[in-house]
Structure 1
């Protein structure tokens, strides 16, 4: 399912390359989970920690107002905390696709807002601490994503610009463990991003 959705998105973006403008972004993000999970009948609290990520992105502008953006990332290494202590780790990729409305105006600042989808692609799960010796498998997930931000592109910078934005993602991947019953790992992160852009 995730591969099919990714293919549709990429084909759609490729087909649109006949017109409009492309923009490349190079930035960094803080991935900050906002939720946690109660397991073992509510006796234990499980949560993911905050992490930094390098997050390049590519954006296509259909016109001055409508664009679509694909946020990518280098692999993110998340710690999983049980009762506040690190007990597992995993790597994942969070490709995020949004359709955006850009509030173009007469200033150099352009606010924008978008909605779309985020995928959660985990691998390389390992356990330690309280979970050492147990098996852990985190499943793929896909959820809705929302985005608000602002770009800054003064004429003196030619095609260069800067941006800051924040995304909210609905992510609750299922976790299989040999210690407790299957549960949803409630992550639901806020993703704070900033960086530079270049419009072609």
Structure 2
């Protein structure tokens, strides 16, 4: 075989190889990579809901920082085009800040919280299951478990304590794509939008005994993940 024929054969094999990389019913997909939660927080104003100042509107807004952790996806192919998927991750940690309130001591970093966002989705792959490139769309349900809330040192010095935030149920949507590098190994990229709503409360007995303020926050983050996967 001369060099031109050999080159043509190698090109043909390279083009044909992806056709063997099928997603089929019964396949198990495991993906892992860097996942970033970027809150698009929109909150109510801060209001006093307990104590002698109950009903007072302090104005302002709450914001939350982004965080990047290890993300994990577990998927099971129900058919050649339809799968069920669970999103998991190591705990995310966010700074919670208040700005623009009438109480100047409240403005700035209030504290931190952690959360876990397990999300169960139904995912649809529209292309030929033998294609190496597999875009997909999905939708499902999210439960956000919030824990380990802490008041920051500056807020503590201003008299704030007992920072709490409620857990959340909400809908989740995603788009993504896999590209098969071999019969089993893939690269993956995905973007999600999750409806997360929480109510945060914090106490301040230095203002008046029994004083508690609350703020309702639509966290509603966009979530980005890139990583590698393996098909079993």
TM range (shorter): 0.7 to 0.9
Question: Paired residue for 1:33?
Answer: 39
Correspondence list, 1:130-145, <5 A = 131-132=155-156, 133-145=160-172
Distance in 2 (alpha carbons) for counterparts of 1:39 and 1:130: 18
Question: Paired residue for 1:61?
Answer: 77
Distance in 1 (alpha carbons) for counterparts of 2:81 and 2:33: 22
Distance in 2 (alpha carbons) for counterparts of 1:91 and 1:126: 9
**TM-score of the superposed pair, with normalisation by structure 2:** 0.72
Distance in 1 (alpha carbons) for counterparts of 2:83 and 2:215: 37
**TM-score of the superposed pair, with normalisation by structure 1:** 0.83
Q: 4+ residue stretches of structure 1 with deviation over 6 A? A: none
Where structure 2 has 5 or more consecutive residues not aligned to the other structure, the ranges are 1-24, 48-56, 100-106, 205-211
SS in 2 for 1:72: strand
Question: Paired residue for 2:26?
Answer: 20
Distance in 1 (alpha carbons) for counterparts of 2:36 and 2:122: 21
Is 2:46–2:214's contact at 8 Å kept on the other side of the alignment?
A: no
Pairing partner for 2:124 from 101, 104, 109: 101
Pairing partner for 2:217 from 176, 185, 196: 185
- Cα deviation, 1:108-166, whole Å, max 9, x if unaligned, reads 21110000011111111111255323221111111000000111114xx1200011010
Question: Highest CA radius of gyration, 1 or 2?
Answer: 2
Is 1:47–1:186's contact at 8 Å kept on the other side of the alignment?
A: no
Matched, 1:195 2:227: yes
Distance in 2 (alpha carbons) for counterparts of 1:111 and 1:158: 17
What do you get for the CA RMSD once the two structures are aligned? 1.8
Pairing partner for 1:72 from 84, 88, 95: 88
Paired residue total: 180
Shift of 1:36: 2.4
Shift of 1:195: 0.6
The alpha-carbon distance between structure 1 residues 161 and 175, as it changes in their structure 2 partners (threshold 3 A), is: same
Question: Paired residue for 1:5?
Answer: none
Is 1:138–1:174's contact at 8 Å kept on the other side of the alignment?
A: yes
